[in-house]
Structure 1
Amino acid sequence: MNAIKLYHFPLSGHSHRAQLMLSLLGIEPQIEFVDLAKGANKTPEYRAINVFGQVPVIDDNGTVVADSTAILVYLATKYDTTGKWLPTDANGAAQVQRWLAVAAGQINNGPARARLITVFGAGFDPKDTIDRAHAVLQVIEQHLEGREFLAADHATIADVAGYSYIAHAPEGNVSLEAYPNVRAWLARVEGLKGFVPMPRTRAGLVV
């Protein structure tokens, strides 16, 4: 069996989700670097892999999966031997799906977008974006009171989906100082066997 190919850009939080999940599962992929800065994602060749021109994409010996949360579901379904990363009972699966939706919605429109402004020069309104980031962080802070992980009493793909952009929120001028439960949760994710970090930039509050 050939290695899973991961079409990857190191500073993409979406891409980091896939890289992190692969590592947590003990899978070492073949990295295919996609240079977003040079528009490598906009070429006809790459659009043939992902019509939306986004990272990440995985190619699992001919099975091509795009979209970071779809990749998390695929990897957990196919390669998780513990059954914990993606619960199969109705309530467990629903709780994970809820937080995957938050990752694609409020986290994407808050912490992720704030980082796009400072790291990549995206033209979003900084104040509105930072306000959105704090709104979702306040919800997560309250949700994590008395809990160790987002969707279950153990780590799931919900935590992988939420981690990258929240951990790097300060790069978008979003302080995590007021969120001790969130910071403790980030530390728990970072303590998981197989954890790999996403490279940090010197943008925002990190400078």
Structure 2
Amino acid sequence: MKLYHHPISGHAHRARLFLGLLGLEHELVEVDLANGAHKSPEFLKLNPLGQVPVLEDGDKVITDSNAIMVYLAKKTGATNWLPEDAEGAARVQRWLSIAAGQIAFGPAAARLITLFGAPFDADEVISRAHAVLGNIEDHLKTNDWLAASHPTIADVALYSYVARAPEGNVDLAAYGKVRDWLKRIEDLPGFVPFMHAPEEMLKSA
């Protein structure tokens, strides 16, 4: 397996983290986003959207971080990470939708402002971030994990951008249950740390 990634992409880390948690051997290929490697003809053959991550597994090419996790869970029969029963699968899907929605347009977007000067309204996306963090905090008051009594790909899907929310000026101080949950993920066997953004990228923060 080969994973095309970038070390400060939360989407790419999501896929890399799950590969680590599954203990799957893989080759990492860093895509030079700063110099436009993701828009090169070669890379666009892998993913016409020009985005990381991309998983290459023999002749199969899987794009989108959540799709990669579903693929890996199904390929390895990891039903603990992706339940096969209807209710369990629906609970996981709910959180994958939150990862692609409220997380992407909240803490992930706020981080894009400080790292890359993305043209979002900082107050708006930070407010969205706190709204979704409040929902997660409430859920974790009575649950250790998001979608089951054990970790699933739902937890992996939310980890990276929640963990690095402070890089987008989203303070986690008020979310004790969220911080405890982050620590539980970090204590899992096979956990792969998410690189902090270089200090010089955060000078606008």
TM range (shorter): over 0.9
Counterpart of 2:37, as a letter, is A
Give the match for residue 65 of structure 1.
62
Task: Give the % identical residues.
Answer: 59
Of residues 55, 58, 64, the one that matches 2:52 is 55
Question: Alignment partner of 2:28: what SS?
Answer: strand
Question: Alignment partner of 2:55: what SS?
Answer: strand
Of residues 43, 47, 59, the one that matches 1:46 is 43
Give the Cα–Cα distance (whole angstroms) in 1 for the partners of residues 130 and 192 of structure 2.
26
Q: Deviations over 1:146-203 (max 9, x none)?
A: 2110000000000000000000000000000000110010000101100011111236
Give the match for residue 124 of structure 2.
128
Counterpart of 2:92, as a letter, is V
Aligned-residue offset at 1:204: 5.6
Aligned-residue offset at 1:28: 2.3
Aligned-residue offset at 1:113: 0.4
Give the Cα–Cα distance (whole angstroms) in 1 for the partners of residues 41 and 101 of structure 2.
28
1:15 partnered with 2:12: yes
Give the Cα–Cα distance (whole angstroms) in 1 for the partners of residues 31 and 47 of structure 2.
12
Structure 2: 5+ residue runs without aligned partners? none
Counterpart of 1:43, as a letter, is S
Give the Cα–Cα distance (whole angstroms) in 1 for the partners of residues 102 and 184 of structure 2.
22
Question: Alignment partner of 2:147: what SS?
Answer: coil
**Which stretch shows the higher mean deviation, 97-106 or 72-81?**
72-81
Give the match for residue 186 of structure 2.
190
Q: Deviations over 1:9-50 (max 9, x none)?
A: 000000000100000000121111101111100111111100
Give the Cα–Cα distance (whole angstroms) in 2 for the partners of residues 100 and 133 of structure 1.
16
Counterpart of 1:66, as a letter, is T
Contact 1:34 1:40 in 2 (8 A): yes
Give the Cα–Cα distance (whole angstroms) in 1 for the partners of residues 35 and 202 of structure 2.
23
Of residues 31, 34, 49, the one that matches 1:34 is 31
Give the Cα–Cα distance (whole angstroms) in 1 for the partners of residues 180 and 143 of structure 2.
10
Question: Alignment partner of 2:104: what SS?
Answer: helix
Give the Cα–Cα distance (whole angstroms) in 2 for the partners of residues 151 and 34 of structure 1.
32
Question: Normalising by the residue count of structure 2, what TM-score does the alignment of the two structures yield?
Answer: 0.96
Of residues 159, 162, 178, the one that matches 1:163 is 159
Counterpart of 1:128, as a letter, is E
Q: Deviations over 1:62-99 (max 9, x none)?
A: 11000000001000111244x20000011000000000
Of residues 22, 25, 31, the one that matches 1:25 is 22
Question: Normalising by the residue count of structure 1, what TM-score does the alignment of the two structures yield?
Answer: 0.95
Structure 1: 5+ residue runs without aligned partners? none
Give the Cα–Cα distance (whole angstroms) in 1 for the partners of residues 13 and 194 of structure 2.
6
Give the Cα–Cα distance (whole angstroms) in 2 for the partners of residues 79 and 21 of structure 1.
12
Counterpart of 1:116, as a letter, is L
Question: Alignment partner of 2:67: what SS?
Answer: helix
Give the Cα–Cα distance (whole angstroms) in 2 for the partners of residues 77 and 111 of structure 1.
29
Question: Alignment partner of 2:126: what SS?
Answer: helix
Aligned-residue offset at 1:119: 1.1
Give the match for residue 111 of structure 2.
115
